[in-house]
Amino acid sequence: MTMDALKFYIDGAWVDPLAPKSLEVVNPATEESFARVSLGSPQDVDRAVRAARRAFPAYAATSVQARLGWLERIVAGFRARLPELARAMTREMGAPITFSTERQATVALFHFEEALRVLADYPFEERMGSGIVRREPIGVCGLITPWNWPLNQVASKVAPALATGCTVVLKPSEIAPLSSLLFAQVVHEAGLPPGVFNLVNGDGPTVGEAIAGHPEVDMVSFTGSTGAGVKVAKLAADTVKRVAQELGGKSANIILPDADLRAAVIAGVHACNTNAGQNCQSPTRMLIPRNRRDEAFAAAREAVAAIRLGDPMDPACTMGPLVSQAQFDKVQQLIRSGMDDGATLVAGGTGRPPGLERGYYVLPTVFGDVTPDMRIAREEVFGPVLSIMSYDTEDEAIAIANDTPFGLAGFVQSPDLERARRVANAIRAGRVYLNGAPFDRSLPFGGYKQSGNGREFGVFGFEEYLEVKAILGYGN
């Protein structure tokens, strides 16, 4: 049975698109469509942007206390519907239900809790020199989000935008749109003023580009591929918008000689396979001491053997399918390129896992003896494919880690924290995890180089949505 979710949320109401056009939402575990959403047009975007523009002056002037109240109601509604939100993500993009519940949905909730924490005592005005510095909401924000962490990326943008007093036009991924439509219901029930939050579904070339180029949008925040990010930035340049982007990654995981190699490799393989490898900061290049090659390969095989593929609605499943046929085909091609380029196939390979003939399932794959010039070492695979590379010296490991156009994250393993810190300081990336450090919602997230600009999470993500105004001569 197909579920229709054909309306957009604009100006406080569920409305029909101006020009009806729909898209089927496919369950990647079954390859069957189970829902339909509408694809918007530039005219729909214009309607949403104008609603957000009308709502902005009054919403920007609301008190911190009022905004805290709305955010608290969103948090309460999100918590109440968390199991439903998790199930929607499992069906639309294939994340195992346990992961959808404990990570996908829960981490999204964290961003609203964090925005509440920052907003509660944020100094919007402070004395400086001969005057004061004010921080004011930037205006109408166009938010374009991806399918791999559907609600996490929505929340990491919407929460600070609403907290700072901005109004929003959201375009979630058309591949995984249903969780965002459920989230829009939560926002509606929280009682925000009409026009403060708007949602228009659609594809990137139509709705995404209309948002990026709209003259009444003051800021665009985009998460997705580097190629699409370049397009967004070019479209935004004509109206000199602020652009915040979180783009691709090819993160290095440096296992130093004094680390527990077996434990570090097993943890690194599992980190690379989280969310079926569809993570922008996945540690997809594992750097090991050259003389520990065989030991590392054995540990990698041990880790892969522990992965449980299957029905993502089964709580025992630890890896679901990739999101789409297009993603499946891309990952298969890159696995084939690794084999053709002469890398050693440690585990996995091309084709589907045994017993999983339906669904976009791929074999968790590990390559060894990968050299920096191979495609699998340079391109973002966005699937469960790990490249193990060897080094002789610490300086060589750092050089290999930095030999990439990306700079989103890095990982360093060593019991010597001073040594790990020294290596982390040398990695050109926006976030570095030492020894499996857990996620921290308060610390900034974003990239160097072609991994983007701007930061999300915590106070840094909050300040992306603020303009800085100096008032001179006040109180002299």
Residues involved in catalysis: 246, 280
Looking up tokens 């990010």, which residue turns up? Answer: 229
Any idea what DSSP says for residue 25? E
CA–CA gap between residue 318 and residue 320 (Å, rounded): 7
CA–CA gap between residue 210 and residue 217 (Å, rounded): 10
Both tokens of 38, joined, read 């509408």
C-beta separation of 287 from 377 below 8 A: no
Q: Which helix (H) or strand (E) holds 174?
A: none
- Beta-carbon contacts of residue 465 (< 8 Å; ≥ 6 apart): 137, 138, 141, 160, 161, 163, 164, 166, 219
Q: Give the residue among 424, 406, 404 at the shortest CA–CA distance from 414.
A: 424
Single-letter amino acid code for the residue at 333: Q
The torsion angle over the Cα atoms of residues 124, 151, 58 and 56, rounded to 10 degrees, is 100
Q: Give the residue among 398, 452, 401, 400 at the shortest CA–CA distance from 430.
A: 452
Looking up tokens 């920052």, which residue turns up? Answer: 118
77 phi and psi angles, rounded to 5 deg: -65, -40
Both tokens of 75, joined, read 């948090």
Instruction: Decide: helix, strand or coil at residue 443.
Output: coil
Q: Which helix (H) or strand (E) holds 466?
A: strand 466-472
The distance from CA 362 to its chain's CA centroid, rounded to whole angstroms, is 21
Q: Which helix (H) or strand (E) holds 113?
A: helix 106-120
Question: Within 13 Å and on the Cβ side, how many CA atoms surround 285?
Answer: 33
Single-letter amino acid code for the residue at 354: P
Sheet containing 22-27: which strands, arranged edge to edge?
Answer: 3-5, 32-38, 22-27
Instruction: Decide: helix, strand or coil at residue 390.
Output: strand
CA–CA gap between residue 85 and residue 101 (Å, rounded): 8
